[in-house]
Amino acid sequence: MEMQPPIQKSNGTRKVEDTMSLKAINPADGSTIRSYDQLTKEQMRDVVERSHQTWLAWRTTPMDERSRLMKRAAGLLRERAEKYGRLMTREMGKTLKSAVGEVEKCAWVCDYYAENAEKFLAEEPVETDASESFITYNPLGVVLAVMPWNFPFWQVFRFAAPALMAGNTGLLKHASNVPGSALAIEEVFRDAGFPEDAFRSLLIKTSWVDELLAHEHIKAATLTGSGPAGSAVASRAGEMLKKTVLELGGSDPYIVLEDADLDAAASTCVTSRLINGGQSCIAAKRFIVIESVLESFTEKFVERMKSARMGDPMDEDVALGPMAREDLRDELHEQVQKSVSEGAKCVLGGEIPDRKGSWYPPTVLTGVKPGMTAFDEELFGPVAAIISARDEKEAIALANNSVFGLGAAVFTGDTARGRRIAAEELEAGSCFVNEFVKSDPRLPFGGIKTSGYGRELSYLGIREFTNIKTVYVA
């Protein structure tokens, strides 16, 4: 997730080189895919101005016309799913199967808002002393999105679809290692028939985001990224009193209770830990297991992690491709080594393969406790931390003992028990029972604590970048 100092991960520290070109690097072998010219400041300012001028007309475009165009965007995504999937796989290493699925999910969110935006933004009458009073939702203007590399399409579309349907225009500052994906997203909206400057991708220096946030025509901003990145954007936007929505890092706890189906729980937990190569804010990261079933669960979990095939992400039978960048892989390995030095035990993986590219194997750490790196920090890659708890009360306390609060899950044979823990006890924005945490256009998505604020998706997400206006007629 990109905005200085880190790109994408909560504990990342790499700075982007301040050059006038961007290189897309294949993380599978370190080869250069393509170089892209960055915009000049003059060109950047021109795009902002044109986006604002487009908004002046777009905000009055009838909802049925917006819907027609968004439906067309959904259709193009489905038609080009394989093409765009291969682009993502080359740029950041996710498996082709998951990349194609990501494009199809973007089509879903486009359809969802095309079909529901009018209802979500309809005037709401309120009974008062007036002859008429109601709430209306008006677009704000140009919204800046600073987006990450780990889901290069999905995290953009879950912002862009509702923002455009609400009558805003959007500018994208994407992560510097996925420039092809950034331009492909712009291509989708252009080819669907949206006004030329309704959605634009800005290939610019990261340091220029400050100037963008200060521009009079940028009315709000959203960022998916690290805690430091979120703080930087929120601070700058706050100086200008501009609205922000932040979706930041996570160290999602998955509680496995003594009455859980351990085979099902282990399979679901491994799926969540390895999804997107483990490079997901809402991937399971801390597995908190009641001690009476700890040995059995760990055995099943390790067995499934060990069987996950690592290899060419274009191969449909591969479960794990390379990590997105070598520096991120090296940071993850340092976290593993540090955790072991602090007392954790590495029972699987934990060694950098001797091959070109950003590879790291499925890794399992046991005996993890609060105060250890694997407990306190986000592990943004295929590394699992297994933690023992005496009982339900301690498991919940361990789950909540984190600066993060994005997602959480609980596994139990008692649905009512799981429902209570998820609804009342866990401190996170999304809490799932007997399932891994995932985003869904129909449900609000976001976090608490240092995982951010505001919500994306659902009817709440489309209202974030609107003027929620009271109208009172005497």
CATH of the domain at 270: 3.40.309.10
454/354 same-domain check = no
174/93 same-domain check = yes
Q: Pick the catalytic residue: 2, 247, 326, 425?
A: 247
105/232 same-domain check = yes
417 part of a folded domain: yes
Strand order in the sheet with 430-433: 345-348, 363-366, 383-389, 284-290, 252-256, 407-411, 430-433
Instruction: Give me the pLDDT at residue 20, please.
Output: 72
109/52 same-domain check = yes
Instruction: Indicate the number of domains in the chain.
Output: 2
Per the CB < 8 A criterion, the answer to whether 372 and 319 are in contact is: no
Q: How far apart are CA 145 and CA 174, in angstroms?
A: 8
Instruction: Give me the pLDDT at residue 401, please.
Output: 98
318/370 same-domain check = yes
244/257 same-domain check = no
| Distance (Å) of CA 444 to CA 94, 302, 456 | 25, 33, 6
The DSSP call for residue 412 is -
Q: Pick the catalytic residue: 281, 346, 427, 464?
A: 281
pTM check: above 0.85: yes
235/257 same-domain check = no
Asked if the model's pLDDT at residue 111 lies above 50, the reply is: yes
293 part of a folded domain: yes
Where residue 200 sits, what CATH number does that domain have?
A: 3.40.605.10
296/418 same-domain check = yes
Q: What is the pLDDT of residues 115-128, one digit of tens each?
A: 999 999 999 999 99
What number is the average pLDDT over the span 191-218?
A: 97
235/287 same-domain check = no
Is 247 a known active-site residue? yes
| Distance (Å) of CA 195 to CA 64, 144, 185, 202, 212 | 15, 17, 14, 16, 21
73 part of a folded domain: yes
441 part of a folded domain: no
Candidates 378, 463, 400, 443; CA nearest to 150 is 378
361 part of a folded domain: yes
What number is the average pLDDT over the span 47-64?
A: 98
What number is the average pLDDT over the span 13-32?
A: 75
352/230 same-domain check = no
Q: For the chain, first and last CA: distance in Å?
A: 49
Confidence of residue 4 (pLDDT cuts 50, 70, 90): very low
Instruction: Give me the pLDDT at residue 209, please.
Output: 97
> What beta strand segments (E) does 281-340 contain?
284-290
Instruction: Give me the pLDDT at residue 226, please.
Output: 93
9 part of a folded domain: no
Asked if the model's pLDDT at residue 196 lies above 80, the reply is: yes
269/205 same-domain check = no
262/341 same-domain check = yes
Asked if the model's pLDDT at residue 28 lies above 50, the reply is: yes
What number is the average pLDDT over the span 135-140?
A: 98
The alpha carbons of the chain give a radius of gyration, in whole angstroms, of 22
Tell me the torsion sign for CA atoms 39, 43, 45, 47: negative
Per the CB < 8 A criterion, the answer to whether 94 and 313 are in contact is: yes
459 part of a folded domain: yes
**Alpha helices (H) in 218-261, listed in sequence order:** 227-239
Structural domain of residue 209, as residue ranges? 21-248+449-473
Confidence of residue 15 (pLDDT cuts 50, 70, 90): very low
126 part of a folded domain: yes
Confidence of residue 177 (pLDDT cuts 50, 70, 90): very high
Is 346 a known active-site residue? no
Assigned token pair, 472: 């009172």
What number is the average pLDDT over the span 183-204?
A: 98
